[in-house]
Amino acid sequence: MYAAPIMFYMKRISCIISFYLLLGTSILFAQATSEEPETIFDTLQEKEVGKGVVTVHQSEALRNMIGKRLHGESVEKTDSTAFLKIQGYRTQVFSGNNQRVSKDEAFRKEKEIKELFPDIPAYVTYNAPFWRLRIGDFRSHEEAYHMQRLLMEAFPEYKKEMYIVKEEVKIPLN
């Protein structure tokens, strides 16, 4: 009594599954035969006789970013160097809002730090009402933390005020 409707639905489900399988294989075939420029991932996965096999797993978003040019607003050029502007980290050493002494204190601390770490960039900024001193252009929190530890060892009296901040940083490209 119920066998006919059940058979109808099973045939229908098998047709739908077959359709999606056929669609999926045609999409995979189209991707495999399309002439995309070779990326580092494709090069790594090439099979050669007598060599091991490398399998690279990455998201499609990452694959799409490979080989893209940088936008004009993210590159800053000076006479001799180009910088990439990205979201990164700095170590904040000082922040003060006392208008009479904070500016002088920020520049004094910058000078002291530059004497010990001449290759690390230091930035004194004013964003009303605060004067701030931030050190470095770091890609990762770990790099900024390492710098913070070095600064704490060299200047223990600044230790209480130091912490890591997320900010746009300039990484040299040359």
Burial class (CB in 10 A: 0-12, 13-18, 19+), 94: buried
Q: What is the pLDDT of residue 107?
A: 95
In sequence order, what are the residues at sequence separation of 6 or more whose Cβ sits closer than 8 angstroms to the Cβ of residue 95?
A: 130, 131, 132, 133, 161
Instruction: Break the chain into its structural domains and give their ranges.
Output: 3-65, 72-172
**What pLDDT, in 10s, does the model give residues 91-111?**
999 999 988 899 999 999 999
The average pLDDT across 135-147 equals 94
Q: Could you tell me which residue, 12 or 86, shows the higher pLDDT?
A: 86
Q: What is the pLDDT of residue 72?
A: 42
Q: Are 155 and 113 in contact (CB under 8 A)?
A: yes
**What pLDDT, in 10s, does the model give residues 121-140?**
999 999 989 999 999 999 99
